[in-house]
Chain A
Amino acid sequence: GEDVEQSLFLSVREGDSSVINCTYTDSSSTYLYWYKQEPGAGLQLLTYIFSNMDMKQDQRLTVLLNKKDKHLSLRIADTQTGDSAIYFCAESNAPSGGYQKVTFGIGTKLQVIP
């Protein structure tokens, strides 16, 4: 079945860039997502990328997709203490308009050191 893998933990200093990596196995993935979960809160959609794109930028966030290697990354520029959270990578294997099975990774805990 589909699988999404990501490292469990990342620690960076405030002001540095953070890069969170993810690999997935489903070659028919259509959308890839990054969600952020702060303590005691739900998953907040940060951004998503369609599988025919290789990059998407949104303010401090840059998503890179290497479809050949099935590798997705999230870069956070000028990381702030408020970015400390768990980041989930996810993929779906169906286009919008129909049933969309989403497979989530285990989450990467980002710790920002002041």
Chain B
Amino acid sequence: DAGVIQSPRHEVTEMGQEVTLRCKPISGHDYLFWYRQTMMRGLELLIYFNNNVPIDDSGMPEDRFSAKMPNASFSTLKIQPSEPRDSAVYFCASRRTSGAAQYFGPGTRLTVL
């Protein structure tokens, strides 16, 4: 099994630019989660999907953030426009309905200058 795949691994952009982060969950997993990790706030859940449908986006910080899951094997997290305070590591995780645990991707380290 390839595990959760995220791209890019690193992204450096300038304030005001659009950023798109990508995730491919583990095949057969029907839950997908987007998290953000910072030193100050630790690991925060941004949004999660079940069977490609967004279920809870209460963790999305503001309207500049949006997430989509057009099919079972692909999800995107978009920030438009990006700000320096968005700098963090963004993780995608997936889980089977019958499973007990979430499995994480390697993360995307985002730096907004």
Which 5 pairs from chain A and chain B are nearest by CB? A42-B104, A43-B104, A42-B106, A104-B43, A106-B42
- Residues B78-113 near A (CB distance < 8 A): 91, 93, 95, 97-107, 109
* Contact assessment for A42 and B97 in the assembled complex, using a CB-CB cutoff below 8 Å: no
For the complex, is A45 an interface residue (Cβ under 8 Å from B)?
A: yes
* Contact assessment for A48 and B50 in the assembled complex, using a CB-CB cutoff below 8 Å: no
For the complex, is B12 an interface residue (Cβ under 8 Å from A)?
A: no
| The residue from B45, B56, B91, B101 contacting A42, defined by CB atoms under 8 A apart | B91
Q: Is chain B's binding surface mostly helix, strand, loop or mixed?
A: strand
| The residue from A45, A98, A106 contacting B101, defined by CB atoms under 8 A apart | A45
Task: Report the nearest B residue to A104, measured CB to CB.
Answer: B43
For the complex, is A31 an interface residue (Cβ under 8 Å from B)?
A: yes
Task: Determine the chain A residues whose CB is within 8 A of the CB of B42 once the complex forms.
Answer: 104-107
Task: Report the nearest A residue to B48, measured CB to CB.
Answer: A99
* Contact assessment for B50 and A99 in the assembled complex, using a CB-CB cutoff below 8 Å: yes
Q: How far is the CA of A86 from the CA of B113 in the complex (A)?
A: 27
For the complex, is A44 an interface residue (Cβ under 8 Å from B)?
A: yes
* Contact assessment for B50 and A45 in the assembled complex, using a CB-CB cutoff below 8 Å: no
* Contact assessment for B104 and A33 in the assembled complex, using a CB-CB cutoff below 8 Å: no
Task: Determine the chain A residues whose CB is within 8 A of the CB of B4 once the complex forms.
Answer: 42
* Contact assessment for A43 and B101 in the assembled complex, using a CB-CB cutoff below 8 Å: no
Q: A42 to chain B: closest CB distance in Å?
A: 4
* Contact assessment for B97 and A96 in the assembled complex, using a CB-CB cutoff below 8 Å: yes
0 or 1 for each of B31-65: is its CB under 8 Å from A? (1 = yes): 10000000000110100001000011000000000
Known: A45-B101, A48-B100. A100 touches B43 (CB 8 A): no
